Structure 1
Amino acid sequence: MAEPSTTQAILVGIERYADSNAIPDLNGPVNDVYRFCQWLRYRNVPPENISVFASPLDRNTGIVDEITSLINSKPLEATKDIINKALREEVRKKTASLFFLFWSGHGWIVPQGDRRLIYADATMEDLKNLNLTAQLNAMQTDLYNNLPRQLLIFDACANSQLLKITPPDDLPPIGKHLPSQQQMVMLAANPGEYAINKGDEQTGIFSRELLNELNSLKDTEIWPPDLESVMQSVQRKFIKLREDKQTRQTPSYLLYQDWSGNRKERFSEIEPATKTGKRDSFPLPRNLTIQELGLLRDLFLQCQSMQDPQSRKDIILNLRKEIANNIIMEGNANSVVLSAIKTSRGYSGGLAELLDVIDMLYENDSVAMQNLRKATIQMLPEEFPLECC
């Protein structure tokens, strides 16, 4: 039976990356780590059993001081070598009735389908990352038999638009499959989706709703809480958030085996927001005037990435397959940009997706990108409900 006193926890919050020009900052992961620390301490997990790894923005160093006071130790850097040592070596030397892992930061899915999480010391030339899929598999083996019950929470994107290549793996050792391992994984987003971080609130939407649910539980004697019920409540909240156009993401959870020893598969109360639908499954966009189309084209072409044939191709190939396959990629910049605008608008959220991909892969919130986004939202607010709500 799990007890707070014998729970071991690792929490990771990464807001700043080594290559901040290419990998955007986040304002929220360190605060979410702090709030999870507060919840663990409220539930009587000893401070010495909580290890924190953080890469804060300068403005959030005060939160790191609060974490230090809460757990009586200073958070370590969230770099590859330091986290790998904790996750693949040190934690295997400890015995715990429950192992708790929370990670908030950038993530993506590679073409082969593996989920990846980016370390703080990553650059685009050396994209240091944790192969989350492989790590979860490793933790289901006898190498982690000292951690028979695992609760693992990840607030990170699961889209495939960061890059098309697959970086070299730094795979964990894999032991012998251990059927008795009980592992529950909570994920902020389904494959293909972004996990929204609210910088103004200093939180990820998933972390916010999950913590609200955990803090609202009246029965504080049960450890861990009824996590299936908690996650189902969170999913119901996201149905409302999606209806209110505050997010497109779809939290889900995986049970390798539940706390009663029953083998279970994936659960998801709501369909993924990125589920492919027919082109006519949403209201058709209004027709642009020649003047409006010309203005959008010119703003797109002010972005350096849209002037270069190779970067234009990379951007298009990172769009949803059904969108990318219908855009004319060959030809001059003018014709390709016009095709991208017209085609993306034929799919729900397509134009917003096009802007996000351009920004994420190449523009990094450049002045030209800011002008493009502002003008597009003003011209077509109905196609950008998240930005306009």
Structure 2
Amino acid sequence: MRALVAGVESYEAGSAWDLDGPVRDALGYVHWLRELGVPDQDMTLLLSPLARNRTLADTAGLPHRPADRDTVHRVLARELADERSDWLLVAWSGHGLIDADRNRRLLFADAVQRDLRCLDVEAALALYRSDGAPGHPRQLWLLDACQTYADTAATAGALRPDPLPRAIPRQRADQHVLFACGPGETTRNGMRSGVFSAEALRLLRDHPDWRTSPRPLAEALRGRFGNTTSLWFEGDGEAHRTVGHRSTVVPAPRRATPRRRLELADKRRLHDALAAVEVMRRPESRGQIIGLLPEAMAGSVPRQAQTRLEILGLIDTCVTFSDGLTPLWEAVSLVDPGTPAAEALLGVLRDYPEWFTDPGPDGG
């Protein structure tokens, strides 16, 4: 068992951002983990406490570091990524938001209004579903943070998510993620300790087996909080996202076992067909195409400034999934429908049935 627990109360932005409660939330998880028998050396504690809570943090009996950008990056991209466990817990309590592209962000302690340093939640989850962090086959992420939409005028140019490494998605990743609230909503903690964290801990204490099979935990939390709790499961080949009582199931592609290897000549042919499509030539529209892919795929595409390298990385990512070229075609044909270059691309993709399902003679 391994755990990363973070509580962020104090921000460089000043007292207007203060939260009184995340340190208590974090220490609650520490106490519970100790009850389970997890040794202190298997827990990483990141705390940025208010002045009045520093004694509480310092007397917890567990060393802690600040939850700033450099420390969080080191922990996620190097320390935890290189370790192994049969079960990983990541618990975070602090400020959060959603940017203009609907990406979830968790603010670091060294964030200020003109430099909103933050964790890209989707990128972190993608990293821990990939070969970049292969040692944690079962994971539970509990994120007690608001998901209010950022003011695009106020945050323009200031929202700076920390770039995390990208790697090839694993064939199986039992990753279970619970957010304290749904998109556009605030948590119920106000300025005091988060009731989401407290309720999650109560349920986990009452039902210890829920930590490794957390679907009942999700149902119980939705029953407690109703529409204020959102859920995202990545595991068993399906991504389940729910908000309140509404649920959708989105197929998540699995790594392919192709009948043949994609040779360099194949990659060149696919590259040339993609590069001929106008929307693939510009970084902005190419980013839109990547953003339309399933999240497990989009989060694994290595972003490059050079067009050729990024298209080749996109191809390499897509063919690690069974039928992985199909969502790529769906994205391209949505943004650039009916052009001669798009039709030529469709003709090339049809020669790769291992990774592509032909939409039929009308192209879709």
Q: TM-score range by the shorter chain?
A: 0.5 to 0.7
- The one-letter code of the counterpart of 1:253 is L
8 Å Cα contact 2:115/2:160 also seen in 1: no
Matched, 1:171 2:158: no
How many residues are aligned here? 244
Q: Name the residue aligned to 1:237.
A: 224
Shift of 1:98: 0.9
Q: Which of 1, 13, 17 lines up with 2:11 in the alignment? A: 17
Q: How does 1:51-200 map to 2 (within 5 A)?
A: 51-67=44-60, 69=61, 73-164=62-153, 165=156, 167-199=159-191
CA contact (8 A) 1:14 1:30 kept: yes
Kindly indicate whether the alpha-carbon contact (under 8 Å) linking 1:250 and 1:270 is maintained by their aligned counterparts in 2. no
- CA-to-aligned-CA distance 1:337-371 (integer Å, 9 cap, x gap): xxxxxxxxxxxxxxxxxxxxxxxxxxxxxxxxxxx
Q: In structure 2, list runs of 5 or more residues that go unmatched.
A: 248-364
Alpha-carbon distance between aligned partners in 1 of 2:38 and 2:101, rounded to the nearest angstrom = 38
- Structure 1 CA distance for aligned equivalents of residues 200 and 175 of structure 2: 18
Q: How does 1:35-50 map to 2 (within 5 A)?
A: 35-50=28-43
Aligned pairs for 1:219-368 within 5 A:
220=208, 222=209, 224-239=211-226, 250-257=228-235, 261=236, 263-270=238-245
1:161 deviation in Å?
Answer: 4.0
CA distance in 2, matches of 1:180, 1:256: 9
Q: Which structure features the higher share of strand residues?
A: 2
Query: Contact 1:210/1:231 (CA < 8 Å) preserved in 2?
Result: no
Aligned counterpart, 1:349: none
Write the distance in 2 (CA, Å) between the matches of 1:130 and 1:234.
Answer: 25
Kept after mapping to 1: 8 A contact 2:177/2:231: yes
Separation of aligned partners in 1, 2:215 and 2:121: 21
SS in 2 for 1:123: coil
What displacement does 1:168 show?
A: 3.6
Q: Distance in 2 between matches of 1:256 and 1:262?
A: 7
* Aligned CA-pair RMSD: 2.0
CA distance in 1, matches of 2:24, 2:160: 31
Q: Which amino acid aligns with 1:265?
A: H
Q: Which residue of 2 aligns with 1:211?
A: 201
Q: C-alpha distance in 2, partners of 1:195/1:162?
A: 18
| Amino acid of the structure 2 residue aligned with 1:213 | L
Cα distance in 1 between the residues matched to 2:220 and 2:166: 34
Partner of 1:284: none
Letter in 2 for 1:252: S
1:32 alignment partner, one of 15, 25, 37: 25
Asked whether the 8 Å contact 2:69–2:162 carries over to 1, the reply is: no
User: What is the CA-CA distance between 1:57 and the residue it aligns to?
Assistant: 0.7
Q: CA deviation at 1:62?
A: 2.4
Please report how far the alpha carbon of residue 144 of structure 1 lies from its aligned counterpart in structure 2 after TM superposition: 1.1
Query: Structure 1: how far apart are the matches of 2:177 and 2:117?
Result: 22
8 Å contact from structure 1 (residues 14, 105) kept in 2? yes
| 1:176 Cα deviation after fit | 0.6
Give the Cα–Cα distance (whole angstroms) in 2 for the partners of residues 233 and 198 of structure 1.
22
Q: Secondary structure at the match of 2:75?
A: helix
Shift, 1:184, TM fit: 0.4
- In structure 2, relative to structure 1, the CA distance for the partners of 1:237 and 1:12 (3 Å cut) is same
Deviations 1:10-40 (A, max 9, x none): 011000101115x510000000001011111
State the secondary structure of the residue aligned to 2:4. Answer: strand
Superposed displacement of residue 205, structure 1: 2.0
Is the CA contact 2:92–2:143 (under 8 Å) kept in the aligned structure 1?
Answer: yes
1:216 is displaced (CA, Å) by 2.4
Any unmatched runs of 5+ in structure 1? 1-6, 240-248, 273-389
Alpha-carbon contact 1:34-1:66 (below 8 Å) kept: no
Amino acid at match of 2:32: W
TM-fit CA distance, 1:49: 0.2
The answer as to whether partners of 2:67 and 2:108 remain within 8 angstroms in 1 is yes
- The percentage of aligned residue pairs carrying the same residue is 29
Residue 268 of structure 1 deviates from its aligned partner by 3.9
Q: Cα distance, 1:267 vs. partner?
A: 3.2
Structure 1 SS opposite 2:228: coil
